[in-house]
Chains A and B, each alone.
Chain A
Amino acid sequence: MTNIVVLVKQVPDTNAKIVFNGESVDLSAVKMVTSPYDEFAIETALQHKESSGGTVTALTVGGSGADKILKDAKAMGVDNIVRVWGDGFETLDSNSFQSVLSGVLSELGADVVYCGKSSADLGSGSTGPGVAEKLGWASVSNIVSASFGDGLTVTAPADGGNAVVNVSLPAIISCDKGDLKPRKPNVRGIMMAKKAQVDVREASAPASTVTLVSQTPPPAKPAGKTYEGGQSAAEVAKLLRDEANVL
């Protein structure tokens, strides 16, 4: 019985316009969704279970609003849904956040953890390797495929191409898009998800040493130049060399 956990995070829809309230982003009017790479992680976790048996638990660290993405994961077919939250969790730095996650993963008794390559909001790609280090586990990041025959074998980018890697468990694997298509929930899954109870747990975190100063719109770019017609490509090519200095 493999105890499989998949990490999911709620983020603004990638189509959403980001608006600001003073020096911070204002997400109050934004539609929230599962971070896109996490859907590949869910799919990989479900395939792992289908191949070797076990259970899949979707885990998020988030406020009550994040119950929705847990239910979406349930509709796709995960067995259990767990949400962790605690005081001051809105502003955890990577070390504090990863401490929380590694504590919960030990509590859950996970054998293998799948997560996204990076979250669509902060997008640092630190969670998988960081949590693995705290637990003393193996990790492989940005995998494009996985197979579950004899132990876990994954394919990930390496210098000059891809490497096929055997990973010893326990391990945390972060998922890139690869060739997978995350499954769509079926009617039964959607019904199950409606009735599902979120297992809500409390946790506490060590103090953060990195603090937020401001969130601002990207620096404005000077307006570009526009040219009409294919012949203008010659002028642009020269400007790239003489004005932009990039050739």
Chain B
Amino acid sequence: MSEVTVIAEITNGKLNPATAELVTAASALGGDVVVVVPCTDASVADAASAYSNVSRVVAAKSSVFANYDASGWAEAIDAVSPAGNLVFLASAQSKDLAARLASKRGISVVQDVVEISGNNLTSPIYSGKAFQTVAISTTAVISVRANVFSPSPSDGDASMSVVDATGNVKSAIKELIGRASERLDVAEANIIISGGRGMGSPDNFKHLEVIADTIGAAVGASRAAVDTWDDIPHSMQVGQTGKTVNPNLYIAVGISGAIQHLAGMRSSKYIVAINKDADAPIFQYADYGIVASWEDALPVLQSTFSEMF
């Protein structure tokens, strides 16, 4: 049987649990699933051998993987990955890498896949206003959205090998600038609570932060909030010209639901909207809508969450 390769997602030096979802996606494409773990220290790969439905794990060890460089990473991963389809997580970095690898192998890449049916792959296009299905006739590289495929269970015991990998790096990091806050980034979070212009002032975002800390969420913002208030950085912006997010839960507070905001978050699994205007467009996309001012709703939400957590 041919092989299909999952490139493990490494976040902050650890195996990202979404890698288990990639195993499920790879099985859907068909073939024996190989998991390649790019790492500087092979122990990171241990957790991958517990995934079910995996035939073997390759810890690709290289100093190249200390810092991201698209060209060097693609070369190193290409060298240790078998021929056949490759599956990445659709994170910003891995999409970049997926595109590099496909190009290196002279095959095509299909990004942000949310459904696999035989050789047919479906992804959102037009910022989620449409879905496109394409058919792959030969091997391809795909990236898969998080929180879409169910994770492969972890009762497996795949064999693991460690191989040395190398690649030529074409960029040099001068400086790493840590985030100002310790808070999760919206692009990495499974729960996001975002504020819009309706929050009235940047100070009021502290009410969102308290809730975020209670439930382990990231704090996001609409463009109107980012553009109006200097204290709300662009890194928090969700939407067409901000980040595209795909969390399990997205709570929009004082956000009207403009098409460009929806573009960044409408594929969230569950959407909660808090807005004092019952006609705000965001309610058409909300699974749970609360027609109320945030001044009334957030304290209740916070106290209920604190009882639950």
Binary CB contact string for chain B from 42 to 78 against chain A (1 if under 8 A, 0 otherwise): 0000000000000000000000000110110010000
B92 an interface residue at 8 Å Cβ cutoff? yes
Binary CB contact string for chain A from 199 to 211 against chain B (1 if under 8 A, 0 otherwise): 0000000001111
Binary CB contact string for chain A from 131 to 166 against chain B (1 if under 8 A, 0 otherwise): 111100111111010000000010101111111111
- Chain B residues with CB below 8 A from A186, complex form: none
Within 8 A of B (CB), among A120-136: 120-134
- A123-B127, A214-B132, A224-B287 in contact; A130/B170 too (CB < 8 A)? no
For B176, the closest partner residue in chain A by CB is: A163
- A158-B176, A164-B177, A227-B291 in contact; A131/B131 too (CB < 8 A)? no
Tally B residues with Cβ within 8 Å of A: 96
Segment with Cβ contacts to B, from A65-73, A79-87, A215-223: A215-223
Binary CB contact string for chain A from 164 to 176 against chain B (1 if under 8 A, 0 otherwise): 1111100100000
In the complex, are the beta carbons of A212 and B134 less than 8 A apart? yes
Q: How far is A238 from B241 in the complex, measured between Cα atoms in Å? A: 33
In the complex, are the beta carbons of A232 and B290 less than 8 A apart? yes
B283 an interface residue at 8 Å Cβ cutoff? yes
In the complex, are the beta carbons of B126 and A164 less than 8 A apart? no
Q: How far is A146 from B130 in the complex, measured between Cα atoms in Å? A: 34
Segment with Cβ contacts to A, from B21-29, B136-144, B154-162, B201-209: B136-144
- Chain B residues with CB below 8 A from A240, complex form: 249, 270, 272, 288
- A165-B171, A179-B234, A212-B134 in contact; A224/B12 too (CB < 8 A)? no
Q: How far is A221 from B288 in the complex, measured between Cα atoms in Å? A: 12
B215 an interface residue at 8 Å Cβ cutoff? yes
Q: How far is A130 from B138 in the complex, measured between Cα atoms in Å? A: 18
In the complex, are the beta carbons of B269 and A14 less than 8 A apart? no
In the complex, are the beta carbons of A14 and B259 less than 8 A apart? yes
Q: How far is A132 from B95 in the complex, measured between Cα atoms in Å? A: 14
A152–chain B nearest beta-carbon distance, Å: 10
In the complex, are the beta carbons of A131 and B103 less than 8 A apart? yes
For A212, the closest partner residue in chain B by CB is: B134
Interface of B is mostly: mixed
Partner of A221, one of B99, B130, B176, B287: B287
Interface bracket on A: 35 or more
In the complex, are the beta carbons of B179 and A160 less than 8 A apart? yes
Q: How far is A32 from B260 in the complex, measured between Cα atoms in Å? A: 16
Q: List 15 A-B contacts (CB under 8 A).
A: A36-B240, A94-B108, A95-B102, A120-B240, A129-B100, A132-B71, A159-B68, A163-B173, A209-B140, A221-B285, A224-B283, A236-B290, A239-B288, A244-B269, A247-B308
Q: 15 more A-B contacts (CB under 8 A) besides A95-B102, A128-B96, A163-B177? A: A120-B126, A129-B96, A165-B171, A179-B234, A209-B140, A214-B133, A218-B129, A226-B289, A230-B295, A230-B298, A231-B296, A232-B292, A236-B288, A236-B290, A246-B191
Interface positions of B (Cβ within 8 A of A): 11-13, 67-68, 70-71, 74, 92, 95-104, 106-112, 120, 123-138, 140, 170-179, 187, 191, 215, 234-235, 237, 240-242, 248-249, 259-260, 263, 266, 269-272, 274, 278, 283, 285-293, 295-301, 303-305, 308
Interface positions of A (Cβ within 8 A of B): 12, 14-15, 17-18, 20, 25, 36-37, 93-96, 98, 120-134, 137-142, 144, 153, 155, 157-168, 171, 177-179, 208-219, 221, 224-234, 236-241, 244, 246-247
